Chain A
């Protein structure tokens, strides 16, 4: 059974850096083809893909947020970390992580998500 859980601060101040950790079980990020992605959803709005890291350390970023994002993995700990710099109130959202496969690209299953509020 695959499970994922996002963790990190529930609130950050504008201009601060957000660090989120996705801790997962039931699969390995050392397996060929496997990746983990981050997706966010502002309250009442649609889903937005942020970043993706693959088993071979290939990293992909949303073009509109690339300058602010960094994604890393710790295969031994079964964790993926996303950092987002220069946080703004518009970044207030629920942040999800989910595994994917390089062949298909769909995300399944998703973590429960973590709500991050950006406010002074």
Chain B
């Protein structure tokens, strides 16, 4: 199975801060990475697919980048509703795997 390692595991930030989360894969996975946001007690929501494509309706302050083994989710100006846990997922091959999550706290 392909392992995904997210860093940091948690971070503290303030409103309007720029935040970046890294996802590293145990092997090259091209651009087959997706990012999800999960707010406490809620189901995950898709933010970005194939590394850099923004899902329709997701604010443009969310951007994804990377290819190969290293990927980044960036929030350009953190908003109160962005405090949540973020997961990366690879769909390069079966089984699809998730990172361990990054919790963004105030």
Contacts and interface: CB of A to CB of B under 8 A. Distances in A.
Interface residue SS majority, chain A: loop
A49 B34 contact: no
Contact of A47 (B44, B49, B94, B95): B44
A62 B95 contact: yes
Contacts of B7: none
Interface residues of B, number: 22
A107 B1 CA distance: 19
B74 interface: no
B43 A46 contact: no
A8 interface: no
Contact of A106 (B43, B91, B101): B91
Interface stretch (A14-22, A76-84, A108-116): A108-116
